[in-house]
Amino acid sequence: MKQRVYWLDTLETESRVPNPEPRVPSPEPRVPSPEPRVPSPRVDVLVVGAGYTGLSAARRLAKSGASVLVVDREGVGFGASSRNGGQVLTGLRHEPAALLAAFGASRARELFDASRDAMVHLEQLLREESIACDYARCGHIQAAWKPSHFDAFRDEQALLAKAFEHDVALVSTRDQRMEIGSDRYFGLLVDEHSAGLNPARYVHGLAAVACRAGARVVPGVAVERIERQAAAWNVTTSAGAVLAREVVIATNGYTDSAAPALRRRLIPIGSYSIVTEPLPETVVAGLLPKSRMAFDSKHFLYYFRLAGDRRLLFGGRAEFTQPGPVATLRAARILREGMTTIFPQLAEAAIEYAWGGNVAFTRDELPHAGRLDGLWFAAGYCGHGIALATHLGDLVAQRLAGGEGRRVDHPLFDLPLPSIPLYRGTPWFLPLVGAYYRVKDWLS
């Protein structure tokens, strides 16, 4: 078993995931190489983080004529931008009923629509820039872990239609084999509007178009300190100093002490994935017959989908510790057990890949964008980041390019971003949170 992100091994070969949309060749992903010194000691905008948020912002800023330097401690898409499951889902972390209860009908509708708008923006970008990343509106299924969860799906279906004008379908246990090759669940909710893609091909394609627009992307450069200097920022990096008129922090679940105010407001939570060996055609065809994205209704949920080369990707919050080799091995064992519980037909399938990475949660479980201590940022996607990170990164760039007088009318912009009491960036409380949600899953 390789402790390596499966998606990265697809960069060198054409993915064979079925894609009903016409294929348009993307520019070859031009992965920049580390440089011993930063190439530009003075820039208009320094972007910290070469994931979806940072690269989307860099593309927009470079197109507006700004000089843009993107640096990343590791490399293009090192974090969640290549480590996620490639599920582009409608909605936010909050369930629809929770959105309504917390924010009221009008505000909840704005927030829900923000997720749909982000998907439209993502699709426009993929078309405009001809990024081939196996994007397809395949829909998603949410599987009921308990009979009571399917009863809740009925309420959710009615609520989505009435409050959000969003149609979903229900599939009973009698018919669920048409959607999933498992008898473990108690019915399904099917949302035809969601999508899937290859996250590594997407983030590397986005890096290529940001470079083509004129941005410089330099991996292997760590930002150590950011200090205000008159009308600019003096940024100390591992490859030299940079003087920047503006700075965008786009590090999400990997935010460190270089941006302490943001770090205190983001909780990095490990998410883990395994990928099987290539499976026989007869087996893989029966797992998810319509090639949908899938997840279940537990708090401690599993998510899964078909990947390329007849494989199944299976993931979840299997460990509430920071990802590392030992934690990844433990998580792989937990996820394999979960996978074979849901799909007993995979009991003999070998696991070829296992990895972990951080997603970032906020205290209010909403993404946020705007300015904090003078630094621009977008972060806190709570596991819904592919489209939202792309869109919010682009909107940050629009706001920045337009100056302080330009407002961005978006429900996730300029919200108060609450800090977390007794928290300075080390999530000591995560094992307690994990235990709490395990109990909730048992009781629900």
Rounded to whole angstroms, the Cα distance separating 155 from 418 reads 31
pLDDT at 405: 46
Mean pLDDT of 90-113: 94
pLDDT at 127: 97
Is the pLDDT confidence value at 148 over 80?
yes
Range list of β-strands (E), 61-180: 68-72, 87-88, 140-143, 169-171
pTM value? 0.91
Is the pLDDT confidence value at 29 over 50?
no
Is the pLDDT confidence value at 336 over 60?
yes
Sheet-wide strand order for 188-191: 169-171, 188-191, 140-143, 293-296, 302-307, 311-316, 267-276, 351-361
Over the stretch 103-124, which tens digit does the pLDDT of each residue have?
A: 999 999 999 999 999 999 999 9
Is the pLDDT confidence value at 303 over 70?
yes
Q: What is the phi/psi pair of residue 259, to 5°?
A: -130, 70
pLDDT band at 437 (very low <50, low <70, confident <90, very high): low
Is the pLDDT confidence value at 15 over 60?
no
Let me know: does 72 contact 49? Beta carbons within 8 Å: yes
Mean pLDDT of 417-425: 83
Mean pLDDT of 293-319: 91
pLDDT band at 406 (very low <50, low <70, confident <90, very high): low
Q: What is the mean pLDDT of the chain?
A: 90
Is the pLDDT confidence value at 19 over 50?
no
Over the stretch 171-219, which tens digit does the pLDDT of each residue have?
A: 999 999 999 999 999 999 999 999 999 999 999 999 999 999 999 999 9
pLDDT at 60: 97
pLDDT at 323: 83
Is the pLDDT confidence value at 351 over 60?
yes
**37, two tokens:** 């010194």
Q: Where are the domains of the chain?
A: 6-432
pLDDT at 24: 35
Rounded to whole angstroms, the Cα distance separating 435 from 74 reads 32
Rounded to whole angstroms, the Cα distance separating 84 from 293 reads 12
pLDDT band at 444 (very low <50, low <70, confident <90, very high): low
pLDDT band at 133 (very low <50, low <70, confident <90, very high): very high
pLDDT band at 16 (very low <50, low <70, confident <90, very high): very low
pLDDT at 138: 97
pLDDT at 399: 93
Over the stretch 322-332, which tens digit does the pLDDT of each residue have?
A: 788 999 999 99
**215, two tokens:** 């941005």
Mean pLDDT of 144-161: 96
Of residues 198 and 426, more confidently modeled: 198
Over the stretch 250-290, which tens digit does the pLDDT of each residue have?
A: 999 999 999 999 999 999 988 999 999 999 999 999 999 99
Rounded to whole angstroms, the Cα distance separating 353 from 302 reads 17
pLDDT at 182: 97
pLDDT at 89: 96
pLDDT at 438: 64
Over the stretch 50-68, which tens digit does the pLDDT of each residue have?
A: 999 999 999 999 999 999 9
Question: With the CA atoms of 80, 82, 85 and 86 taken in that order, what torsion angle do they form, in degrees rounded to the nearest 10?
Answer: 110
Superfamily covering domain 6-432: FAD/NAD(P)-binding domain (3.50.50.60)
**192, two tokens:** 């035809």
pLDDT band at 409 (very low <50, low <70, confident <90, very high): confident
